[in-house]
Amino acid sequence: MSLFRYSGEMNAMTINIGESVEGRYEPNCRTQMRIALMDFEHYMATAIGCHQVMTFEDITGSMEELCKLLNVKVLKSYK
């Protein structure tokens, strides 16, 4: 899966890759998903916002092309 965060202030988008994994159910949380990230350190180092867009397939190439067209800086790491 792909994870994206955008900062208009920085004109930058973080791009991360991971996979959905099983986790415990928490009844007080309405949005529940556990993700094993390929590069957790990069994810934490490039935290530019609270809201994320997640897709259940790898669309990182398409998002990089979009960022290039829109002149948005891409912050990525794929280990």
User: Burial level of 25, CB count in 10 A (0-12/13-18/19+)?
Assistant: exposed
Rounded mean pLDDT of 43-72? 90
Rounded mean pLDDT of 32-58? 85
* Confidence at 45, pLDDT banded by 50, 70, 90: confident
Other CB atoms within a 10 A radius of the CB of residue 46 amount to 20
Task: Look at residue 38 and tell me whether its pLDDT is greater than 70.
Answer: yes
Q: Give residue 43's pLDDT.
A: 85
Q: 71 is in which domain, residue-wise? A: 2-76
User: How many domains in the chain?
Assistant: 1
